[in-house]
Amino acid sequence: MNSDAMTIGDEVRAWLADHWDAESRRAKAGGSLAEWMDQVMEAGWAVPSWPTQWWGRGLDKKSVSAIVNEFRKVGAPGAGQDRTNITANSVMQFGSDTLKRKIIPEFLTGRAHQCLLYSEPGAGSDLAAVRTRADLQGDHYVVTGQKVWTSGARNADYGLLIARTDWDVPKHEGLSFFIIEMRQPGIEIRPINQITGDSHFNEVFLDGAIVPAENRVGDEGQGWKVMQTALAVERLVMGDGAGERRQGSSKNNVVSLIDIARETGKIDDPVARQDIAQAMAYRQLNALNMLRAKQDMAQGTASPIMSLGKLAMSRILHEDARVMTRLLGAESMLDGADHARAADINYRTANAYMTSIGGGTDQIQRNIIGERVLGLPRETEADRNLPFRESRAVTG
């Protein structure tokens, strides 16, 4: 670490010592989590790479890493959101100054929660084929359509919405990106029950919902570009293990693998040890790739390496579940409160598919890696350059 990063490290340690109780993991001044996040934002630690006029410090990526590490050491939340906050990063890069002032503080402090209104019944793997429409009427848009597989919609204050504003240009050029208020007439949310017993996902029906024109992120027709930035942040977060953290487990899966091997008397089994070592190797390799992706994100680029990390985490979670099942043996067929270990493994096995689908399927990530990392020819799209109303998505 260079001397600048060391200076920043000293500064952030001193600031945390004055404001954060590491033992109780609470702000020394008390108050809510949002009030703590206010302090972090005002000090410039929330988005330290951003300009000072936008709650940042204008720091380089090494300094940002030093800040995040110091916060992590004492268990303090809020730092380094310039790499992880989907809404804030999207609005910062493409939004108007008015929208930045309105939206970004709400998300940096955690007072507002988002959901992602991207996928539709006929536009999942091909997101550019969305048919939800946003029609400009004076100073606002009227939105009509349907979204599906929307995580967290029932608790969201805002939705990040991709909708079609022009049907007479090719599909990628007729999209616009919006921040829409979720708690309004014209929006109906229906939960989707999952095999795990959870209902994280939802269908969202929009029928005459209103979004102010000032809540458009970027120009009309720039929605595809904005969404690529939002997806890059999401893939970075998922590649870093977000799906694993949502399980509510306090243990790293590798630790769980070792625990299960000990419990089942297989810790000295050479095949079991090889499986666990392979799982550890996958994680270490992914951690190195994610460091590269975070450096790209800090420089304001949407690196395809993020797709590598996202795909790798999907493989890691499926492989961990497979090894756990193999270690537990026949007991893995049991479930319920009387068989907590088996129930946990069964949940992990089913829940791994969330990472395989969310943020773009594994197949989509392979396409991105093939085209943008390996330089392979693009997949053929016969309707790519047609006006959207003439495409197969509309004409069938």
pLDDT tens digit at each of 396 positions of the chain: 444 545 899 999 999 999 999 999 999 998 999 999 999 999 999 999 999 999 999 999 889 989 999 999 999 999 999 988 999 999 999 999 999 999 999 999 999 999 999 999 989 878 999 999 999 999 999 999 999 999 999 999 999 999 999 999 999 999 999 999 999 999 999 999 988 888 889 999 999 999 999 999 999 999 999 998 898 888 777 766 554 544 444 345 556 899 999 999 999 999 999 999 999 898 888 888 777 776 666 555 556 777 888 888 889 999 999 999 999 999 999 999 999 999 999 999 998 988 888 777 889 889 988 988 889 998 877 788 899 999 877 876
Are the CB atoms for 364 and 125 separated by under 8 Å? Answer: yes
CATH topology match: 114-222 vs 240-360: no
E strand residue ranges, 138-218: 140-147, 158-164, 175-181, 187-192, 201-212, 216-217
**pLDDT at residue 250 in the model:** 34
| Pairing state between β 201-212 and 140-147 | antiparallel
Q: Which of 141, 149, 151 is nearest to 181 (CA)?
A: 141
Are the CB atoms for 388 and 271 separated by under 8 Å? Answer: no
* 75 alpha carbon, distance to own chain's centre: 21
Separation in Å, CA 322 to CA 202, 239, 260, 279: 28, 19, 13, 11
115 is written with which tokens? 């959901």
Measured between alpha carbons, how far is 329 from 271 in angstroms, rounded to an integer?
14
Are the CB atoms for 365 and 144 separated by under 8 Å? Answer: no
| Pairing state between β 158-164 and 114-117 | parallel
Are the CB atoms for 18 and 12 separated by under 8 Å? Answer: no
| CATH number listed for the domain at residues 114-222 | 2.40.110.10
pTM: 0.83
Candidate CATH numbers 1.10.8, 1.20.140, 3.30.70, 3.30.2030; the one for domain 240-360: 1.20.140
- If one counts every other C-beta atom within 10 angstroms of the C-beta of residue 267, the result is 15
DSSP 3-state assignment of 123? strand
- Phi, psi angle pair for 50, to nearest 5°: -75, 165
Measured between alpha carbons, how far is 363 from 147 in angstroms, rounded to an integer?
21
**pLDDT at residue 288 in the model:** 83
Give the residue extent of every domain in the chain.
3-82, 114-222, 240-360
Partners of 191 in the β-ladder:
202
What is the 8-class DSSP label of residue 198? -
Measured between alpha carbons, how far is 223 from 204 in angstroms, rounded to an integer?
20
- Phi, psi angle pair for 263, to nearest 5°: -60, -35
Measured between alpha carbons, how far is 312 from 319 in angstroms, rounded to an integer?
10
CA gyration radius, the chain: 22
**pLDDT at residue 247 in the model:** 46
Amino acid in position 22:
A
> How close are the terminal C-alpha atoms of the chain, in Å?
57
Partners of 206 in the β-ladder:
145, 187
Partners of 142 in the β-ladder:
135, 210
E strand residue ranges, the chain: 20-21, 26-27, 114-117, 133-137, 140-147, 158-164, 175-181, 187-192, 201-212, 216-217
CA angle at 4 for the pair 75 and 70, rounded to the nearest 5°: 5
Burial class (CB in 10 A: 0-12, 13-18, 19+), 202: buried
